[in-house]
Amino acid sequence: MIRVLIADDQTLVRAGFRSILGGEDGIDVIGEAADGAEAVRLARELRPDIVLMDIQMPGMDGLTATAEIAARADPGVRVIILTTFDLDDYVYGALRAGASGFLVKDTEPAELIHGVRVVARGDALIAPSITRRLISEFTARVRHPDPGPRLGVLTEREREVLVLVAAGLSNDEIAGRLHLSPATAKTHVSRIMTKTQVRDRAQLVILAYESGLTVPGWVQGS
């Protein structure tokens, strides 16, 4: 059962998400929060698998709450940021704070349900098209990449896989690019996350760009 906490200051928005998710097999909405502070408290108390987090809330905002949850809550708690636009000034900060992905508020019900399931199984909710658009954000903000010690533990193959993850490729696409089986590609990604001590694929994207492993402007198909 995927346990979901909804954090949004608008009662009707929370009710809408609860209505959509509550009727799905395998998904249980276990709580609602009207602000960031309440979201942090309930994340610690209820230990949901997923927190649907609005960015703009009174008091503690969604970015601060996401960082608090990533730092203090159970490592299994993953945050999906709810945004008004598919890419805005908050997205980079949200991923940096520890979010596992994001959805626009007017997303179709099927996409919301799919997103919750995707993130619950440990994947990042970042489409390749959005990842490519994020490249400019990383390039502009990360002026002095720092490889740090974490990349030193990766094999050459694992570095290749990490570059492809950062470009937004799925495990199946990585397998095709590197002539591997999908299971082998998945194993590589899991080992990379373990070695670098990151929560999920979204954090791998952050690591790849902030370490300078990827080449700015590299896109799928290059």
Most confident of 56-60, 121-125, 136-140, 202-206: 56-60
pLDDT at 222: 43
pLDDT at 127: 53
Instruction: Give the pLDDT confidence of 142-176 residue by residue, as tens digits.
Output: 555 566 677 889 999 999 999 998 877 888 899 99
pLDDT at 70: 87
Say what percent of the chain tops pLDDT 90.
Answer: 47
Instruction: Give the pLDDT confidence of 172-200 residue by residue, as tens digits.
Output: 899 999 999 999 999 999 999 999 988 77
pTM of the shown model: 0.73
φ/ψ of 102, rounded to 5, equals: -155, 155
Mean pLDDT of the chain: 83
Question: Which domains are assigned to the chain?
Answer: 2-125 (3.40.50.2300), 132-210 (3.40.50.2300)
Q: pLDDT-based confidence at 41, cuts 50/70/90?
A: very high
φ/ψ of 182, rounded to 5, equals: -55, -35
